Chain A
Amino acid sequence: MTVEQLRENFPALDRKVYGKDLVYLDNAATVQRPRSVMDEWERMTMESNANIHRAVHLLSDEATRSYEQAREAVREHINAGSREEVVFTSGVTAAINLVAFSFGEAFVKAGDEVVVTECEHHSNIVPWQMMCLRKGAVLKVLPVDDRGELAMEMLPGLLTDKTKIVAVTHISNVLGIVNPVKDIIDICHSVGIPVLVDGAQGIVHSEVDVQWLDCDFYAFSGHKIYAATGTGVLYGKRKWLDRMPPYMGGGEMVGTVKFSGTTYAPLPLKFEAGTQNFAGISTLSPALALASGISKDPCLKENERKVRDYVLDALCSDKRIKLYGCPHNREKKIPLFSFSVEGAHHEDLALILDKMGIATRSGQMCAEPLMDRFGVTGMLRASFAPYNTMHEAEYFIKCLDRAIGMLL
């Protein structure tokens, strides 16, 4: 498939902003939606809008089937061992909060330790901080080096017999570097410590096989991988999920309810309290089908690699620009670029680029500790998707040069 053919699936890419062609480079936050996802959403809304699992009528049956088909699609996409290990949530943030709460309740006590890394999104920091506060546990941090790579040599020293879990991002939303999560998991498992992987970016830019990774938890959001917003997935090994108490109580998640006590539904429903976002979740099926097709397409792969190399080289060769996240091996870099320009505020740059038709992200990108690490108040980020063309990349670099020129 050519990039142009791929683009035809995304109506939003055709729109104009301020009279100019939209160049959408904020894909790491929300990727645009393909027609197949919108069709599924519409079908679920117009034809099969009914509560799943409980009712015996046809609409409910159809909705349930679509919802459970999505579970199977996710299971297959990440190669989970069973559907019981795939829990639907409203997003990666909800998934991590679920684990931080329920795992914490089951396994963490005062004086225990939790390890995160310096390049985590707030969503993989704050839930752990909250749990540590509640339990009297201690949060420890694995730092990154100046290139943005994890200081792996320090990991074994951080792990003690009090460490209960390690939470690490597969790919930082700021640095765009694929972290060596497999190595981290192996090291942690060698001393009996489970690992949660924040896959918000990882699910989009790498092929995830949870059984090969052997991760204990893997969390991701739907809206970054072409599905509807308000959808997310928590993969968890059954041996953990079975022993964790529910995160929320309510409908769906129960076995029997008596005033004398309640039993809980079996996995995965134990963690899916309340009426679920069944229309949204169902869109994961076409979304993952598209993602899978893209990742197997040599032509699209080649375009993505070319775009990455071009932008990486252009940013690195510009003396005014400081790029964060420059791994030794460029194959570890995804087409996501966060940088700053001495003397030009990231917000000014984003504002000018916006008027040139280019959507970027500016600010702390929900990673304030990482901003502090690099001594900046914020950065500008351009994140590319497989549908971004080389022409767009060139236009971005040209406009960035002009914007910097206006500000300096």
Chain B
Amino acid sequence: MEKTLQDVENEVIDEFSMFDEWLDKYEYLIELGKSLDEYPESSKTDNHLIKGCQSRVWLDYKTEDGKIFFTADSDAIITKGIISLLIKIYSGRTPEEILSSDFSVVDKIGLKENLSPTRANGLVSMIAKIKEVAALNTGIKK
């Protein structure tokens, strides 16, 4: 059976619980960032830019079969790792699934409170953008 969004959220929480040290979490995020699918240069436009980040973050998406698929990039690798983590959880889901999530996963893995204020704002902006995209696409046909 296909994993639910909640399954994936729990997997991520489990994975992060293995790290005692913050630097290990960062190393993991850096690896995630490096493994993110290539994002087309042509989509690095201002309308895809997420505000509130010290580094630049671009987020784009397409819909297919009633699901939303996100692509993203950042010029900072840890930020890229964070957005990659969000994509791992929320990409390929229906708008309704995304909107049903309380996004508490980012709190549970300790990301939010341990980021610098500017980066935490960036994370909040990323989540807001994902929610916005989901809300915009509710009820799309399969």
Contact = CB atoms under 8 A, between A and B. Distances in A.
Interface of A: 18, 344-345, 347-348, 350-352, 354-356, 362-363, 377-378, 406-407
Given A348-B77, A351-B116, A362 B23 contact: no
**Interface on chain B toward A: helix, strand, loop, or mixed SS?**
helix
A355 B116 CA distance: 10
A406 B79 CA distance: 14
A367 to B, nearest CB: 15
B56 A354 contact: no
Contacts, number: 47
A347 B22 contact: no
Contact of B75 (A345, A363, A406): A345
Contacts of B140: none
A18 B77 CA distance: 22
B101 to A, nearest CB: 26
Interface string B100-137: 00000000000000011011000000000000000000
Contacts of A350: 116
B86 to A, nearest CB: 17
A356 B77 CA distance: 18
Contact of A348 (B23, B78, B118): B78
14 contacts: A18-B22, A345-B77, A347-B54, A347-B55, A347-B78, A348-B55, A348-B76, A350-B116, A351-B116, A355-B23, A362-B54, A363-B54, A377-B75, A407-B77
B75 A352 contact: no
B26 interface: yes
B116 A377 contact: no
B36 interface: no
A344 B30 CA distance: 11
A347 B27 contact: no
Given A348-B76, A407-B30, A355 B56 contact: no
A406 B118 CA distance: 22
Interface residues of B, number: 17
B79 A347 contact: yes
Interface of B: 22-23, 26-27, 30, 54-56, 75-79, 115-116, 118-119
Given A348-B55, A351-B115, A354-B116, 8 more contacts: A345-B77, A347-B54, A347-B76, A347-B79, A351-B116, A351-B119, A355-B26, A356-B23
Contacts of B55: 345, 347-348
A355 B22 contact: yes
A345 B76 contact: yes
Contacts of A354: 116
Contacts of A348: 30, 55, 76-79
Contact of B26 (A345, A347, A352, A363): A352
A361 B84 CA distance: 25
A345 to B, nearest CB: 4
B30 A406 contact: yes
A360 B65 CA distance: 47
A65 B116 CA distance: 41
Contacts of B119: 347, 351
A143 B79 CA distance: 34
Contacts of B76: 345, 347-348
Contact of B54 (A355, A378, A407): A378
Contacts of A363: 54, 118
Those 9 A-B pairs whose CB atoms lie nearest each other, nearest first = A345-B76, A355-B22, A347-B76, A347-B55, A348-B78, A347-B54, A348-B76, A348-B77, A363-B54
A257 B77 CA distance: 61
A355 B30 CA distance: 15
A250 B139 CA distance: 59
